[in-house]
Amino acid sequence: MVSKTISDFYHKHRQELLYGVSLALLLFVLRWFELRFLILDHIIEIYVGAIALLFTGLGIWLAHKLTTPKVETRIVEREVYVTAGDEFTVNEPERLRLGISQRELEVLQLVAEGLSNQEIAERLFVSLNTVKTHSSRIFEKLEVRNRTQAVERARRLRLIA
């Protein structure tokens, strides 16, 4: 119980402890040198300089180690314009009038989403040729010449969302 607490404390404050211990050691060593060689008075400037440098480094190290990585989250809102309100329902009479089959409408929807024929084929688990056939028929029935016009027209007729 106690050892766990101590262990936790150690893990949480390892940095601080390490720093404290190293600081103490350093001062001890310095003091030791000081006594050992009696050179204190002569090179006091160098001594202080060394201390300053060392502790500046330590400070930087500390800051890097201890500071939680500063992540500034910048949220950029991008407005997406959508027409309001009524959820979409297929204009069934129009679909029947034009003789567009269910499957064709399905393809048409995917065409409108900007998928290529190949992508549509994969999505519907059919061959590329099948998709082509469908889209060709759609173009005929909608009396258009390409997919862009087909989407345009289908939207106007409320055949797709």
* 51-70 residues near DNA, rule: CB under 7 A: none
Q: How many other CB atoms are there within 10 angstroms of residue 150's CB atom?
A: 23
Draw the binding track, 41-60, toward its own copies (x: CB under 8 A; -: no contact). x--xx-xx--xxxxxxxxxx
Alpha carbons 24 and 27: distance in angstroms, whole number: 5
Residue with Cβ nearer its own copies (1 or 36): 36
In the complex, the smallest distance separating the C-beta of residue 136 from its own copies, rounded to whole angstroms, is 16
Draw the binding track, 102-131, toward its own copies (x: CB under 8 A; -: no contact). ---------xxxx-x---------------
Q: What is the CA radius of gyration of the chain?
A: 38
In the complex, the smallest distance separating the C-beta of residue 92 from its own copies, rounded to whole angstroms, is 12
From the list 26, 62, 124, 157, which residue makes contact with DNA (rule: CB under 7 A)?
A: 124
Q: Is there a contact between 153 and 142 (Cβ–Cβ < 8 Å)?
A: yes
What are residue 93's phi and psi, to 5 degrees? -55, -45
* Secondary structure class of 28 (helix, strand, coil): helix
Integer CA distances (angstroms), 6 to 22, 24, 26, 132, in order: 20, 21, 25, 72
By CB under 8 A, tell whether 24 contacts its own copies.
yes
From the list 1, 2, 38, 75, which residue makes contact with its own copies (rule: CB under 8 A)?
A: 75
